[in-house]
Structures are given as structure tokens and as C-alpha cells.
Amino acid sequence: MKRVTTIASVVAAGLLAAGLSAADVAAQGVELQFGTTSPPGNQQSNSAVDFAERVNERIGDYGKVEVYTSSQLGSDKDMLQKLRLGAQDMSQPSTIMSTVVPEFGLFDLPYLVKDREHMKCIVDEIVWPTLAPMIEAKGYKLIGVWENGFRHISNNVRPIVTPADLQGVKLRTPQGVWRMRMFEAYGANPTPMAFSEVFVGLQTGVIDGQENPYSNIYAGKFQEVQKYLSETRHVYTPSFPTASLAKFNAYPPEVQEAILEAAEETQAWTYEEAARLEEETKQKLLDAGMEFNVADREAFVEGSKPVYETFAEEVPGGQELIDRALALADGC
């Protein structure tokens, strides 16, 4: 409460000095725009709402974090551009981060992340000390590492048991080069597309399938236009809540602190919530009538080796990043 009073007092004093009345001051409040492409109800948008509530409890009359879901502020690419230009406060990129800093492509390597405990170690040992400074050098402020989730494949052609079953399947992917290369290695026809366009793409047959965590599949209502659901767990994708570095640096120190504290609390919350909801959401998809199968993990791991080799060759320090991440599989 003391922090809230301090922030409010500083803002009020500045506005009164500018000649505004006390009533005018009371009406003032900074809107901190947090944009996400995710629809309401999935893990990413739930995390954004949880974060906003935590920040808003701390900053009081200074202003309020407003969450804009379902690409209301644009695609991930659009919002990253706005962040860099200082035209938006925060967004929630995931796979697309590798288009800004290639080293973030580490999280597009198939079967790299064993489980959430492994991911926590990667966050502590690799993301914060190594990757966060890289993204900051590009004009962004990484404020946390949340969850998008373990990804699975749905499609209207056939059950996916081995990579061979993906041969020729037109599969929507996010805008990240390594996800595309992975599915090219499996024999699919990867098609980058904004999340907001996927339902219509599936409905009209422009694409045959897509790959996403269960929560995204359900929130996107893809079960209404997809027949087969294959549990592949081919990639664990983090969510990277990110602020405009210019805007973040312009906030009062107390607001900066509130944002970072809230993001860290949401980071812990999102792992617990995602684990709790994963099986529940999967069951909802099955109840909706999707035909389910579990993929052959070993066949996919074998088919993934070329992607690792290419990443190690093309990304500076790529092999070292791979080795560091895999070495944390049994704890840190």
C-alpha cells in the first residue's frame, strides 16, 4: 500500500503542477496496453489477465494494465514493431521471438524440453543470463517467462503416428523459421499463418491442420473443424511477456518494480495452472468428438536430428545452447 501511495502522490503532484484541478488529477490514469493474439480462456490470455490483476493491485491511481486479447492490437509481428517504436507497452510473443533474436529458436527444437521442471532450470540458467540481454539490445524488455505449452497436431487427413504421416499435409505454423524447418524435415507442407486466421483456414480447407497446445486448440474452437487429434508433444513453447524498453524505462521506478514482481508471480502461477488444466482441456476435445491417438515419440525424435544439426550450424553458439539446455534435463 505504501508503494501505491508513493506512485499516486508523485503523479498527482506532477499533474497539479501542470495546472490541473484535483478532479482532473483523479480522472487521470495511465493505460498500459498489454496485447496478446490469444483468445480469452487459453493459457496465454489467462496469464495476461492474472498479471494485469497483480500489477493493478500494486500501482493504484498511477494507472491500469488493460489486456487486449484475440489480436485486437495486431499480430505478434505488428505488436513487436509497436513495442520497438514505443507505441505499445507490452505484448506476449512466443515462437516469433526467434525472428528478433535467432537464439530464441532454441525453444523450437523438437523434444528439447523434458517437462516444466526442466523449463524452470532453462529459464534460470539460460533465458535470464543469456537470452534476455540479447532481446534488450534490440529495444525490448523481457519481463517474464510464462507458458504457451506442449504442442500437439490436429488435422483432417489422417492420424499422425510417425513423421511419415505428415507427408504433404498443409500444416499451419507460427511465424518462426525453426518450426517451419522442423515440419519440412517431417515431410509436411508448413504454412505460417496468424492465429486469428487459423479457424477459417481450417474451415475452408486452405490448410489441413495445425499444431498447438490443447488450451489453444480448445480456445480457438478448432475441434469444430478438425477430425484427428494426435498427442505429439513435439515442442514446449514458452510465452515471453515483453515490454517496450523505451516505455518501460520511462515508468516510475515503483511501476517498473511492480511489473517485474507481478510477472515473476505469474510465472510461478502459470506453470501450476497449465499443468492442472492440460488433461482437463484434452478431455474437452475428446468429448467434442475428435479422434485421438498418441504419436510414436521415438520416431519423431529420430526424424528431428537434422533440425538440431542445422540450428547448431546456423545460429551463433547454437550447439552450446543445445548442450546447456539438455544438460539441465535432470535438474539444476
Residue the block writes with cell 523450437: 108
- Of 282, 254, 217, 261, the C-alpha closest to 62 is 254
Nearest residue to 90 via CA among 225, 285, 247, 234: 247
Query: For the whole prediction, is pTM greater than 0.75?
Result: yes
**C-alpha to C-alpha distance for 143 and 138, rounded to whole angstroms:** 14
| Domain spans, the chain | 2-101+117-327
pLDDT recorded at residue 29: 87
Given a contact cutoff of 8 angstroms between Cβ atoms, the answer to whether 209 and 202 are in contact is: yes
pLDDT, position 28: 58
* Backbone φ and ψ of 160, nearest 5°: -105, 110
Three cell numbers at 310? Answer: 542445422
In angstroms, the CA 323 to CA 40 distance is 37
Given this model, what pLDDT does residue 217 score?
A: 95
C-alpha dist (Å) from residue 132 to 88, 124, 305: 19, 11, 27
What's the angle, vertex CA 189, arms to CA 225 and CA 173, rounded to 5?
60
Phi, psi of 90 (to 5 degrees): -145, 155
* Residue keyed to cell 524447418: 181
Helix (H, G, I), strand (E, B) or coil at 196: helix
Torsion of CA 158, 162, 167, 171, to 10 degrees: 70
Q: What is the C-alpha separation between 211 and 160, in angstroms, rounded? A: 11
pLDDT averaged per 10 residues, the chain (length 332)? 36 37 50 95 93 97 96 95 98 94 96 96 98 98 96 98 98 91 96 93 98 93 98 96 98 98 96 90 97 98 96 97 97 88
Residue tagged 545460429 (cell numbers): 315
**Confidence (pLDDT) at 277:** 87
Q: 210, 201, 208, 109: which is closest to 157 by C-alpha? A: 208
Question: For the domain 2-101+117-327, what is the CATH code?
Answer: 3.40.190.170
